[in-house]
Chain A
């Protein structure tokens, strides 16, 4: 049971970090997005500190969305997706493992890069810790929900743009609670734990809904 899960995970991870994988490119994109923000809103450090957590979250969301087309597209192109579908393993679990490996390769680097980028945005140490923690908890949910969009658009030749349109409305709750938890850590009266726990709950929900819906979409797309 664990054998094939482990080997699938290792395979996904190996493909994702090799040349052509988008893990590092996602971080570069994240850096690029964060570094154009001061050009857009001005170099005022106080303002940047106030809106910094929000922009880190939006940057992470966009970087995740851009990387999502790699999740199933490459496997479909070389036929590996059909083999996975015919392997007789529970497809929901396959999708979950693929999402996990994809997150390790693309989401985790974003989380690691966030504290460095936070310095550019003049965040206080508490805020840096809070943003990193919320991103660590929240980005898996972005990948899992994004998997639904990725599997729905896998048959389309240029589905990336449509996928973003389909996925973004579904990620609004994660964005709201991620940013409000990060903000709550800095501004005193609001408790940090409430939005943070709701964010954790959202991630757990999407760990259930994402693989189920995504597996269903993949089954329908294959015939």
Chain B
């Protein structure tokens, strides 16, 4: 199985070294095209004016925030079911990126909401769902931080991620029941997108750019996490070698 070949962290790091420069280049190119298109080529909205351009950041961030949770859920399955050694690294690395994306989504949404809806925040269903997602990302990060042993923390976080993945659709449904004001989805629909191609193209390019950015950051964070664990293992080994000697040294003056 191909994914098992990269269970070895060294082999994974070597793969990252090869892929990462290409991915970064593709990401920069996609952002260059996407930003140019969304700032200079996309027309102003007849109602929203220039503020519509916020959507080119807001919508991809929201999509990616959801995709990030899916990746974490799949990684958690990998941790619990297959015990893949890189799965919990992947889940841990994804959480802060997901939190940043939800935060971007909330902030750009608030900035857009002020001129459009007349308020920064409304307790609307979609906004509330994203806020709940944000809190769940932060909770997962806190859980990671409070446990010292990365393997144990990985398992605990994996359980919580999967329970969250089960619960998120229920939360989404119940919050929709509770209150809704946000416009319904206008790009992914059965009868085709309702927005004009002039705006749709920059949006899709920006979505691609955000996806590439996510993978760049995710791979970098995974690499850092692998290295961090190596440092931790080396420190513990050094401490276990040095500990008896220092214990004797500190014990002597007390006698």
Q: Which A residues fall within an 8 A CB radius of B?
A: 148, 152-153, 155-156, 159, 162, 165-166, 168-170, 172-173, 176-177, 180, 195, 198, 202, 205, 209, 213, 216-217, 220-221
Contacts and interface: CB of A to CB of B under 8 A. Distances in A.
Main secondary structure of the interface of A (DSSP, over half): helix
B170 A148 contact: no
12 contacts: A153-B146, A162-B146, A165-B139, A166-B142, A169-B132, A169-B135, A169-B136, A169-B167, A170-B163, A198-B174, A213-B159, A220-B159
Contacts of A153: 143, 146
B136 A176 contact: no
Contacts of B160: 148, 152, 166
B99 to A, nearest CB: 13
**How large, as a class, is the contact surface on chain B?**
20 to 34
B132 A213 contact: no
Given A169-B171, A180-B177, A220 B152 contact: yes
A202 to B, nearest CB: 7
For the complex of A and B, 5 pairs with smallest distance between CB atoms: A173-B174, A220-B155, A176-B174, A166-B139, A165-B139
B5 to A, nearest CB: 27
B156 A170 contact: no
Contacts of B117: none
A213 B163 contact: yes
A75 B179 CA distance: 42
Contacts of B66: none
A165 B142 contact: yes
